[in-house]
A and B are shown apart, each in its own frame.
Chain A
Amino acid sequence: MDTKTRTTAISEWFKKVSPKKVLARSYLALVLLILYAPIFYMVFFSFMDVRFMGMDGNFTFDNYRFMFNDPTLRRALRNTLIITLTSATIATILGTLGAIGIFYMNRNPKRVMLFGNQINVVNPEVVTAMGLFLFFTVAFMPLGDLILPHNFAFGFVTIIIGHVALCTPFVVLNILPRLRRINPNNYEAALDLGASPFHALRRVIIPEIFPAMLGAFVLSITLSLDDFLITRFNSGVVETLSLYIYSAARFGNAETMGAIRALATVMFVGAISIIAIGTLAQNRLARSKFKKT
């Protein structure tokens, strides 16, 4: 290649890659770096035998070994799974029914309900947490003593109620747009073909909003898993993952600190797997719909 063709090739390249494009690409790269660098940093240090990230150390699997063996952490994980799955399930059912109810309301009550729902979403969580705590001590405890056998205290029930209160408004907001997309005649068509209102709901409405319900369920799991404030205020003696991570991060030794890094890594891999599986399943479903027989 002689010099002339090389220079033209280079100038061609410069023409193709305009400064605007370079700027746009590097901006994107920067954003992605800021988003993911801390996570990869943490993943890297989950394999190091150091107390704090950034310290000099050696490669090890000890963090993971400790994570799977520490009885406190295992108990916290078990509690969290119970709380998360229960509250996400309850919130999804409650929120779905609520959304359907709100959707078919008249204009004014609908507005009131949507406004009420909105408050829960924008309300600072610390307020909700405090409110729940006061509610439980003032109203729930005396009542609890009446209904339940003695010394009813903060614990699973209060956390789950708190998490349901946290998640339900988000479920409603997730379901409503999907309901709006349904042809309003579909429900009527089901009745017209002889279905009872309940049957029509079960066989026509629910299947159509099912993807949104699934999304709401996953969202609820995330919210519940993440939640620290409501849990902290209403947990009593029950230990959960978020509480464990919080205390370990502040007062932990090298072992627990390493364990929470390992734990975070496992959770991150889990989240990525869920997203990947979900996307694959959706693509397959879309393809099967248009397959002609």
Chain B
Amino acid sequence: MENNKDNLKKEILIEFKGVTKQYGTSLAVEDFSLQVKRGEFVTLLGPSGCGKTTTLRMLAGFENITSGEILLNGEDISKLPPNKRPLNTVFQKYALFPHMNVENNIAFGLKLKRVEGIKEKKKVEVVVCESTGAKQKVISYEPVLDANGNTIPVMRKLRKEEIDEKVQKALKLVDLPDFAKRHIESLSGGQQQRIAIARAIVNEPAVLLLDEPLGALDLKLRQEMQLELRQMHKELGITFIYVTHDQEEALTMSDRIVVMNMGKILQVGTPKQIYDEPENGFVANFIGESNIISGVMEADYKVTFAGKTFTCIDYGFDKNERVDVVIRPEDIELFVNGDSRPAKDKPAGDNTLQGLVVSSLFKGVHYEMEVEANGVGFLVQSTTGYSVGENVNLYIKPDYIHIMEKEKEANVIKGKIIDDDAILLQGAKIKVDLTALIENSAYDDSGYLVNAAGERIANELDLYGKNVEVTMAFGDIELKDNESEGDIKGTVITSFYKGTHYQARVKADKGYEFFVSTNYSYDDGDRVGLVLVPSKMVLKLEEVEKVD
């Protein structure tokens, strides 16, 4: 048992423990915890600015960590400088040394390396070839012995012959065996990246870090290199930590994917898990295309969306809990009435919706169609194309209906009363009607809050400075493209289509994350203004315990 536990421990090569990186006041990486096994290929995946590169740079030692621990083989390496960490990095822009040739670039690390050995003396003999008379130098090494005739252990440099051999081996591995003497500037981008990989792996690091190494290459070369990197990983048995924003690349190459956004881990899993069972809207939307539709869990294995109850394989939700349903476009099967396919392939009744093809686009391997059913738009990918205006049936297999807990039912924001008719919410002064909060109150002609007798009551009730909780439905907030037109300014974090509308997640500058339903598509990072409709606000006074 004890032994077993030890073995398990050995399996884990790298461990991040609550690693946080803060720049000024903004958190680049927040409470990042992850275990990486020896020999694993782990990909950090996320949009730009999500903290994936920062995480990699903290592991490599180029960035200090604000708090937390990074363990390698159980030892904390987070305080070590980069040159003392047994890791090597492949950079996006290659970072080859332009004044050295290929050979010297690759040998850079080897020349600095010290290995365990014994003290030796170099011997150079000149041998004259008998037949030709040509002179040849023969180099040999003899161990130096101490007074007792024993060898002396030392940390020695690698010999030139050893370095040459390793460099040649690395060049063969990256498929550029005759490039040793070439100058860096005479190489193409793809060749430079291969040399950069050779330069890193020649040092036989415990972990190879790759920071979007294929980002600067064209598509075809990138796909080729993906396969080669995967092959190299198998051959070398080195642990790879790979950073990319390309979800396809992550799915193709990794053993495990870590999806990140806004400095946080959203989901960790195998490519299949990440693709088939996304844990939230962001992951579902970021990894491939998805239909994300609001639904209600009627009972275990029963979910209602788009006006129909479907059989699914999920359970354990509350009765009538509102959920998000995720369906991949390729998992929806289309067929028309009177289809001539065998009956067993032709599902009918359960899990089927009637719909109308709204748009159809040929994409090479498949058709991409938008089908509207009961007012909900479905994105469907199918090898059979249907034309616009055609009535079709949509069949969704129970296995393909994935249920996610709703991240948020409504926006609940804390604010403070600052005037008779205004509250301070996320740094903005917002006009509200406070009469709903206080029984028998009204506004007088000058706009003061008064009781039934017409007396001002704000001071008496000690209203100013009181905390309120504002609840707003997703649809009661309006987004303005011009941020200055909004009450509150913010940045769009994600936005995805939910069958009938887009759902945007907007992070206000003061920190609150608003969920907003909108008819328009926004890009991640768009600056927007949020307009809160006062009549739609539900206000609640925060209860303060009375002290007598």
Report yes or no: A192 in contact with B112, Cβ–Cβ below 8 A.
no
Known A188-B62, A290-B183; contact A193-B99, beta-carbon cutoff 8 A? no
Q: Chain A residues with Cβ under 8 A from B182's Cβ?
A: 292-293
Report yes or no: A188 in contact with B95, Cβ–Cβ below 8 A.
yes
Determine which of B81, B82, B95 lies in contact with A186 in the assembled complex, contact meaning CB atoms within 8 Å.
Answer: B95
Which stretch of B83-91, B232-240, B358-366, B454-462 is in the interface? B83-91
The answer to the question of A208 belonging to the interface, with a C-beta cut-off of 8 Å to chain B, is: yes
Known A185-B95, A189-B91; contact A195-B112, beta-carbon cutoff 8 A? yes
Report yes or no: A289 in contact with B183, Cβ–Cβ below 8 A.
yes
The answer to the question of B502 belonging to the interface, with a C-beta cut-off of 8 Å to chain A, is: no
The answer to the question of B203 belonging to the interface, with a C-beta cut-off of 8 Å to chain A, is: yes
Q: Chain A residues with Cβ under 8 A from B94's Cβ?
A: 183
Report yes or no: A207 in contact with B82, Cβ–Cβ below 8 A.
no
Report yes or no: A192 in contact with B60, Cβ–Cβ below 8 A.
yes
Number of A residues near B (Cβ < 8 Å) is 25
The answer to the question of B10 belonging to the interface, with a C-beta cut-off of 8 Å to chain A, is: no
Report yes or no: A193 in contact with B95, Cβ–Cβ below 8 A.
no
Report yes or no: B82 in contact with A192, Cβ–Cβ below 8 A.
yes
Give the most central of A193, A290, A293: most B CB within 10 Å: A193
Considering the complex, give the chain A residue whose CB is closest to the CB of B84.
A194
Q: Chain B residues with Cβ under 8 A from A75's Cβ?
A: none
| Bound complex: CA A210 to CA B99 (Å) | 10
Known A183-B95, A186-B95, A188-B82; contact A289-B112, beta-carbon cutoff 8 A? no
Determine which of A192, A208, A290 lies in contact with B99 in the assembled complex, contact meaning CB atoms within 8 Å.
Answer: A208
Known A186-B97, A195-B112; contact A289-B186, beta-carbon cutoff 8 A? yes
Considering the complex, give the chain B residue whose CB is closest to the CB of A188.
B62
Minimum distance in angstroms from B436 CB to a CB of chain A: 50
Number of A-B residue pairs at CB separation under 8 A: 77
| Bound complex: CA A195 to CA B111 (Å) | 10
Q: Chain A residues with Cβ under 8 A from B162's Cβ?
A: none
The answer to the question of B133 belonging to the interface, with a C-beta cut-off of 8 Å to chain A, is: no
Report yes or no: B83 in contact with A185, Cβ–Cβ below 8 A.
no
Within 8 A of B (CB), among A44-96: none
| Bound complex: CA A91 to CA B395 (Å) | 79
The answer to the question of B189 belonging to the interface, with a C-beta cut-off of 8 Å to chain A, is: no
Within 8 A of B (CB), among A236-293: 288-293
| Bound complex: CA A70 to CA B62 (Å) | 62
Within 8 A of B (CB), among A206-250: 207-208, 210
The answer to the question of B349 belonging to the interface, with a C-beta cut-off of 8 Å to chain A, is: no
| Bound complex: CA A289 to CA B181 (Å) | 10
Within 8 A of B (CB), among A153-195: 183, 185-186, 188-195
Report yes or no: B108 in contact with A193, Cβ–Cβ below 8 A.
yes
Interface string of B87-121 (1 = CB under 8 A from A): 11101111111110000000011001100000000
The answer to the question of A204 belonging to the interface, with a C-beta cut-off of 8 Å to chain B, is: yes
| Bound complex: CA A210 to CA B183 (Å) | 18
Known A185-B91, A188-B62; contact A194-B109, beta-carbon cutoff 8 A? yes
| Bound complex: CA A195 to CA B203 (Å) | 13
Minimum distance in angstroms from B169 CB to a CB of chain A: 17
The answer to the question of B505 belonging to the interface, with a C-beta cut-off of 8 Å to chain A, is: no
Q: Chain A residues with Cβ under 8 A from B89's Cβ?
A: 188-189, 192
Q: Chain A residues with Cβ under 8 A from B186's Cβ?
A: 289-290, 292
Minimum distance in angstroms from B329 CB to a CB of chain A: 39
Q: Chain B residues with Cβ under 8 A from A11's Cβ?
A: none
The answer to the question of B509 belonging to the interface, with a C-beta cut-off of 8 Å to chain A, is: no
Q: Chain B residues with Cβ under 8 A from A289's Cβ?
A: 183, 185-186
The answer to the question of A202 belonging to the interface, with a C-beta cut-off of 8 Å to chain B, is: no
Considering the complex, give the chain A residue whose CB is closest to the CB of B104.
A203
Report yes or no: B95 in contact with A189, Cβ–Cβ below 8 A.
yes
Determine which of A189, A190, A191, A203 lies in contact with B81 in the assembled complex, contact meaning CB atoms within 8 Å.
Answer: A191
Known A186-B97, A292-B182; contact A193-B199, beta-carbon cutoff 8 A? yes
Task: List chain A positions with a Cβ less than 8 A from chain B.
Answer: 183, 185-186, 188-197, 199, 203-204, 207-208, 210, 288-293
18 pairs from A and B in contact (CB 8 Å cutoff): A183-B93, A183-B94, A188-B62, A189-B91, A191-B62, A191-B82, A192-B83, A193-B88, A193-B108, A194-B83, A194-B203, A197-B81, A197-B83, A207-B97, A208-B99, A289-B186, A290-B185, A293-B182
List the 3 closest A-B pairs by CB distance, nearest first. Answer: A193-B109, A185-B95, A189-B95
